[in-house]
Structure formats: structure tokens, C-alpha cells
Structure 1
Amino acid sequence: MASNPLYGWDLTFKTVERDIKRKSDVLMAFVHWNLTKKGFRNVGVGDESTLTGHEEKSELLPTAWNENENYVLRYVLDDKLYILHGLNSDGSLIINLMKTDDLAVTNVALSIEGTVNELSGPIDKLMPNHKEVMYNLIRDLINPITNRSTTSAQTQTPNQGNIPHDDPLRIPSRSSMIPRPDSHNLWDLPPAHMPNIGRSDLDPFAPVGSGGMLFNPFQPRRDLENPGLGIPGGLPRGSVPPGARFDPFGPPGGPMPGRRPPPPDADHLPPPGFNDNMFM
């Protein structure tokens, strides 16, 4: 029986069936039942935001819970006070659940006529789409505010042993940042067969002087395969399309063995005071 998602609804509705006056009452009773399933206990009506510690906690709706056009109910969960508001507005019931200690609020809006068909009878007759309504209440009204409480408690008392390894906000240690070709983690280094260009610009913890987005063709590199012809050190493979006309701007194969490489650009400005008498 406990595995039935509607377990307990018939008993809850029987306790308030004589008090039902309108379709919005059915919705509020359904909301109340979903709250009690999650451990909430009612402590009366009203919007008083403090607890005396002597409130009587109950799974039942209190007396006069639906006397007014709108609804205001008080609940307790884990010794924290919550206030449930139900506002009738233009054919909809707008439901707010507020946690009083941090003023966290969740809400959901339900169409009254589109949700409730009858004022009595089994749940399939009362609310034909009760499964969808229950899903929306748990997803939008109850879980966000109860999960927030749990998350806040864990944040105040962090435990490194409980941090999941797949937390996308957790920065891994540099010792774990090793090349893994099959990894899709953006924090991993690129595969070993790829030039590691621009990695330091993406890594805020990269050591100074480790390179950047600008590729230096004169930097010694051991991972270039078949460098080809051109500037000292060679052009990377694929720089010259197959069949394209290309005039090398350096000795084929790079500088001669034993010779110092030429400067990067023969058209650079001469040093101060230099005169080659080229116009004489």
C-alpha cells in the first residue's frame, strides 16, 4: 500500500469532505495532503511568522481552514515554519509556500475549473489529471524549498569527503590534469598528439611564461610531423594547399647545418645610426 502514490488521500479527503464548499477547497486539500506526505505538519491558520514551541502539529487541516475566500495555513518541517498562501485570482488558484527564516518562496498556479470537476467522489472523478497536478506540486512547490534547506545546511558545514567527483563547479587539482584523449572534460589537457596551443589562456592557474594564444613558429617544437618547406623550423603540414604555387621564403629544409638561423623578417627597420649607402 505504501508504494501507491495516492496512499492516504482517501483518508485525508474523508476528514474534510463535509467542509468542501467550492472547487478551490478540493485543490487546497490536495496540496495539504502532498505536504503531509513530505513530512509537513499543520500548526493552524494565519500568517504569524513565529513559533512559540507549543503548537500542536497535525496531519489534519485545522478548523476554519476554508472560511475565507483565500487561504493562509501554517506548517512545520524540521522545526522550521512555513506559510502556505492560496489566492483565488481570475479562475486560478495561485499557491505560495514561504519559509519564514530565510523568506524563500516557491509558487505554482492551477486552473480551478480545468483541474477540479466535482466536489466529491474518488480522485479520478474529482481531478482527472491528478497525476500531472501532483507532479507539478512536487516539482515546483515542495521540492525546491525543501532541497534548498538541505543544500544550505551542507554549505554551512562543508565536508570535502562528500563532494562528488563529477561536480562541474569543482576545480580539479593540477596533478589530475593529464592528457586524456578520450575525455570530454573541459578541464583536461588536449590529447598528446595535438599541439598544446592556447592552453595557458584557458587555465587561470597556468605558470607565467608558458605560452598563449599566439603561435610562435620559431619556438622549438618536437610534435610537428613533416614540417615541410619555408621559414626556419618549417611550416606546419597543411599550410600550403596541394597544387598551390608557393615561393619559399627560406632555404629548403630550413637553415644549413651549423649556421645561425636568419632573422624573422629581412624588412625590419635598421638600428639607429645604421647607413648602408643604398641610395648612393
Structure 2
Amino acid sequence: MAAPGLELLFSLESRGFSKPQDPLICFIHWELVSSGLHCFGRGEKAGEQDTGSERLPDGWGDNKELYTLRYGTDASRFLLKALTVEGTLIVNIMDLRSEKVCDLTLDVAVYVDSAHLQQYDRVYKSPSHLRRLLHSDLIAPLLGTKEERKASSEQEQGPPNRDPLRVPPRVTGGWRTPPGDLPYGAADLDPLGGRSGGMIMDPFHAGRSRPRIDPTMGFPPGSVPPGARFDPLGPLGARQPGPDPDHLPPPGYDDMFM
């Protein structure tokens, strides 16, 4: 099945069909347009006032041996050349920016019934196969698949409704400290009370793993000569003491009458 809209284009152009390759060019043109391209005219040279259109330009079929059409988007331009050689149509499309080229050779008699050039419902043979062939050999290599084009467009536009001033939504499960930051005040910022501690700064980074200090090595480590008698500095145990929650009690906290 051909892309929707081809029948309307065919009705506008079929009066000028005189060779079997004419409706084939019409089919190829509409597949390119349906893939997001517009036609910017015929010939290799761009005009001063080229405007993209879904229709074929005037005079596109004047040369039955070589069809030359220009296509593109706002950011890219493509040149299509279709050469007729002994019953075949050699289709060549080049990306003018990257100079990437894709080509395809079609047996005209396999896809077009030359006895019904003006009858849309009878002129095309195996339109579904022709459409798949055009997309796999010409359109996808140049433009990417439909899914790839959609993903690329969404990436250029950015996330929908993204407001740079909006605060990101809270992660389910409570406040999470950003990686690499010390959790000072995390308990006061967590509305669910999932943390302990308070606003007291912990110079020993309580709660984090750290190497044990060998008291026999002196301070700084290595300051005691080997074999020397040395009373270890202390108290040093398996872990450094954390801050005492009562270091900064509120005024009168121990007054039973308050």
C-alpha cells in the first residue's frame, strides 16, 4: 500500500504521464515527502526564491531520460537524479552537506503497468514492496528510521514542559544527600525523619568508614622511633568519638521548673 496522499498527487500529475517511469518518479517523490522532506525544485542549481512544496515542480518530467529534483528540510538539502537505462530506473540521492550517496536500481516493468498510466488503481504493481525497498535502500540510510528521526527531534526540543526554575520532585523515600556532600543538617531537612543527628558539625565525619589510627605510631604517625618507649596518646579506640548531642544544650535545659 502506498503512503496516504499519493492518489491526490497522482490525479494532479497523471495527465502528463507519457512514459512508465513517470508514475514511478511520482511514487518516489511522495515517499520522500511523506518522510519529512519538501521539494525545492528541479535541476541541480537552487533558485533564489525556492520554497519547499509537497507537489512536483513545473516541468519535472520534461526530460524522460534524466529526472533531477531537489529536496530538503530547514537544515539539509538532497539532490535526486533518476536515470532511465534500458527499462530500468537508476535512482541516486546525495546529501549535499555530507556528500553521502544512496542509490537503487528499479526494473520499471516490475512496478508499473505501462498500459494504464493514467489509472491510479491499476498503474502500480507491488506498491507495498516498492515502498519497503525505497525506505530500506534510500530513505533510512539518509534520514534514519522513523523511530530514530522521532528520537532525534525530541532530543533537539528537550524534555516536554521543562522549566529550568522548577525544583525537581522529591525522590520517594525521603531526602537524599547529594553524592560527595557531608550530611550536615540532613535530619532537619528530612520531613519523614529518616535520619539521625542534627546541625552540629562533625569534624570526624561520624558515620563514615575511616582507617584506624595506631596509637603506638605516635602523632603524627611515624614520629616515634622504632623501639622507643612511648605512652600512647589517648583515649583512642576502634572509632573516633562523635559529637555529643548535649554540647550545645538550650538555656535552662536542666532546670526542672522551666
TM-score, normalised via structure 1 length: 0.49
How much has 1:18 moved relative to structure 2? 1.0
The structure 2 residue matched to 1:43, chosen from 32, 40, 54, is 40
- Other-structure match for 1:71: 67
Counterpart CA distance in 1 for 2:93 and 2:100 is 8
Whether contact under 8 Å (2:94, 2:102) holds in the other structure is yes
Higher relative contact order (CA 8 A, sep 6+): 2
Question: Could you tell me the percent identity over the aligned residues?
Answer: 28
Alignment-derived partner of residue 225 in structure 2 = none
Contact (CA 8 Å) 1:83, 1:97: kept in 2 or not?
A: yes
Structure 2 Cα separation of the partners of residues 59 and 136 of structure 1:
21
2:60 match: secondary structure: coil
Maintained 8 Å contact 2:66/2:84: yes
* Residue 92, structure 1, aligned to residue 66, structure 2: no
Q: Counterpart of 1:114? A: 110
> C-alpha offsets along residues 4-38 of structure 1, whole Å, 9 cap, x if unaligned?
85311110101101111110001000000101101
Conservation of the 8 A alpha-carbon contact between 2:2 and 2:131: no
1:136 matches 2:133: yes
Alignment of 1:51-200 (within 5 A): 54-68=49-63, 69-117=65-113, 118-123=116-121, 125-147=122-144
> Aligned partners of 1:67 and 1:137: how far apart in 2?
24
The alpha carbon displacement at 1:89 in A equals: 0.9
Distance 1:132 1:74 in 2: 25
Is the radius of gyration larger for structure 1 or structure 2?
2
- List aligned pairs for 1:21-32, cutoff 5 A: 21-32=18-29
CA contact (8 A) 2:3 2:31 kept: no
Q: Which amino acid aligns with 1:75?
A: Y
2:24 is aligned with 1:16: no
Moved over 4 A (4+): none
Which residue does 1:207 correspond to in 2?
none
* 1:79 to partner: Cα distance: 2.6
Q: Which runs of 5+ in 1 are unaligned?
A: 158-280
Give the paired residue count: 147
* Rounded Cα–Cα distance in structure 2 between residues aligned with 1:107 and 1:78: 23
Give per-residue Cα distances to partners, 1:188-213, cap 9 Å, x unaligned: xxxxxxxxxxxxxxxxxxxxxxxxxx
How far residue 115 of structure 1 moved from its aligned partner, in angstroms, is: 1.6
Rounded to whole Å, the distance in 1 between the matches of 2:66 and 2:138 is 18
Q: How far apart are residue 127 of structure 1 and its match?
A: 1.5
Letter in 1 for 2:72: V
- Distance of 1:46 and 1:120 partners within structure 2: 25
Query: Structure 2 length normalisation: TM-score?
Result: 0.53
Tell me which amino acid in the other structure corresponds to 2:127.
H
CA contact (8 A) 1:120 1:126 kept: yes
Say if 1:51 and 1:81, in contact at 8 Å, map to a contact too.
no
Distance 2:111 2:144 in 1: 27
Residue 51 (structure 1) shift: 7.2
* Alignment correspondent of 2:204: none
| RMSD, aligned α-carbons | 2.4
Q: Deviations over 1:55-105 (max 9, x none)?
A: 111100001101012100011124311111000012100101111011111
1:131 counterpart letter in structure 2: S
Q: Secondary structure at the match of 1:71?
A: strand
Gaps of 5+ in 2: 156-258
